[in-house]
Amino acid sequence: MAAHQEKKPSGERSRKSAQNGSRTSQVQWGRAWEVDWFSLASIIFLLMFAPLIVYYFIMSCDQYQCSLVDPLVDLLTGNKHLSDIWNKTPALTYRAAGIYTLWVAFQVVLYVFIPDFCHKFLPGYVGGVQEGAVTPAGVVNKYEINGLQAWIITHVLWFANAYYFHFFSPTIIFDNWIPLLWCANILGYTVSTFAMIKGYFFPTNATDCKFTGNFFYDYMMGIEFNPRIGKWFDFKLFFNGRPGIVAWTLINLSYAAKQQELYGQVTNSMILVNVLQGIYVLDFFWNEAWYLKTIDICHDHFGWYLGWGDCVWLPYLYTLQGLYLVYHPVQLGTANAVGILMLGLIGYYIFRVTNHQKDLFRRTNGNCKIWGKKPEYIECSYMSVDGTKHYSKLMTSGFWGWARHFNYTGDLMGSLAYCLACGFDHILPYFYIVYMTILLTHRCIRDEHRCFSKYGKDWKRYTAAVPYRLLPGIF
């Protein structure tokens, strides 16, 4: 699609970049140039501590009513030993292993065996077989886009069970939350390790592999760009978009059901969190084809960062607000509830419109209207590893003229709204906004580094035209 449109006919391609610096620099725009000491230190830190951070948050809720400080105080004052906390932690159970295996197997079946039918009757929805962006090796992968369908089928079955069949309690996720954490970790580590071995011994596309020579970096950031099994099972699309994100809304529903069970009512803050995060998740699936052009899919390689992150980090830490509200049911005053809803909706609007503007612009190769006018843009070029020269455009109007990543700004506003719904008694629910701010600021810098390597002086012209990253006039 867009990737093809960016390419000029073969006659116009040149084997050497005349405009944009040397070929050597041009083909470096995929992941990882070299591993500097800071990246290595960050990676080793994350490999060691990210699983502990997840455990600490979930344990704090289970044993300390979501206080992040009390466990530390207990440990530092000798009131408790690590072994006391560990011994109180629920172990892996056969029940949790069964639930998790069924869950992942069900999502695999929905992903691999049920071609999309939603695009046949939902106007405006893009599903079915779609193409991804051109990879550094010049490959354009095809994907079966059927995430919305998987989400709908899963949720219809969830509600059918909750209101009609009663095979299991809707609190099942909350009730098995820590045993399920062990299952998610097992899958996360297994898939990351498998991806590393596969990258060495039987890669799907050897030209798109990157070996830095540093074991930790390669394990964390991945070797293969688009590992696949068979023609259609794409690791990145499946793990990024299925077991974790489909579960996100179910996890929140399970928390709401637990509130109902414990207190006889669901608070307005829980409804707000369910609704705002539900919109975000549905948006993801409605726009899954667009997602093929985002950094996760078209720039990141598949390693522990995506494999373990999608299995563990996302479902456990992105849902902390709902978990917190089970332990601390917050009933917001009407003005606060409306204010938070507005913040969440405005954030979502900015996030969606900004992403849509870029998608429309790239899909139509600039032949569209942005805010009623023809978009303004900077022409740019880059080289793929086979020496082919490609052409692209960077938009400088619409929200993309306000800041270079205004989509992140909208995302951050929405994230803040989820946290505010939990009130101010504890810091735990605010982890999300702190994390998202670090993630998106780092991502913005990482992306700009990559774009500079890719587009060279054309990127400099773009940053001169749009000088701010996230907040016009400030940053």
Task: Enumerate binding residues for ligand NDP (CB under 6 A).
Answer: 294-295, 351, 355, 358, 361-362, 392, 394-395, 400, 405, 407-408, 411, 443, 447, 451, 454
**Nearest CB to ligand NDP, comparing residues 220 and 395:** 395
Non-local (6+) Cβ contacts of 291 within 8 A are 240, 241, 284, 297
- Strand residues in 227-376 grouped as ranges (E): 228-229, 233-234
- In angstroms, give the least distance from the CB of 468 to ligand NDP: 12
- Count CB-CB contacts under 10 A for residue 313: 20
- In the bound complex, what is the minimum distance in angstroms from residue 388's beta carbon to ligand NDP? 15
Q: How far is the CB of 446 from ligand NDP (least distance, A)?
A: 9
Q: How far is the CB of 436 from ligand NDP (least distance, A)?
A: 7
- In whole angstroms, give the CA distance from residue 305 to residue 216: 11
In the bound complex, what is the minimum distance in angstroms from residue 323's beta carbon to ligand NDP? Answer: 17
Provide, rounded to whole angstroms, the least separation between the CB of residue 1 and ligand NDP.
Answer: 12
Pick between residue 259 and residue 392 the one whose CB is nearest to ligand NDP: 392
Closer Cβ to ligand NDP, 330 or 395, answer by number = 395
Tell me how crowded residue 83 is: count the other CB atoms within 10 A of its CB.
Answer: 8
Q: Do the beta carbons of residue 307 and residue 239 sit within 8 Å?
A: yes
Residue 45: CB partners within 8 Å, gap ≥ 6? none
β partners of residue 233: 229
Q: Is 144 helix (H, G, I), strand (E, B) or coil?
A: strand
What is the DSSP-derived secondary structure letter of residue 90? P
Q: To the nearest whole angstrom, how small is the minimum distance from the Cβ of residue 79 to ligand NDP?
A: 36
Nearer to ligand NDP, 225 or 351 (CB): 351
Nearer to ligand NDP, 255 or 351 (CB): 351
Q: Which is nearer to ligand NDP, 194 or 402 (CB)?
A: 402
Which is nearest to 133 in space by CA: 143, 123, 124, 125?
A: 143
In the complex, which residue's CB is closest to ligand NDP? Answer: 294
Q: Which two tokens stand for residue 339?
A: 């204010």
Q: Which is nearer to ligand NDP, 178 or 312 (CB)?
A: 312
Quick one: which of 233, 221, 167, 229 has its CA closest to 196? 221
Choice between 386 and 425, CB closer to ligand NDP: 386
Q: Shortest CA distance to 211 belongs to which of 127, 301, 120? A: 301
Query: Minimal distance in Å, beta carbon 308 to ligand NDP?
Result: 14
CB 46, min distance to ligand NDP, A: 15
Query: Half-sphere exposure of residue 166, counting CA atoms within 13 Å on the CB side?
Result: 2
What is the Cα Rg of the chain in Å?
23
- Would you say 44 or 295 has its CB closer to ligand NDP? 295
Give the whole-angstrom CA distance, residue 374 versus residue 368.
Answer: 6
What is the distance between the alpha carbons of residues 413 and 142, in angstroms, rounded to a whole number? Answer: 33
SS3 134: strand
CA atoms within 13 A on the CB side of 170: 24
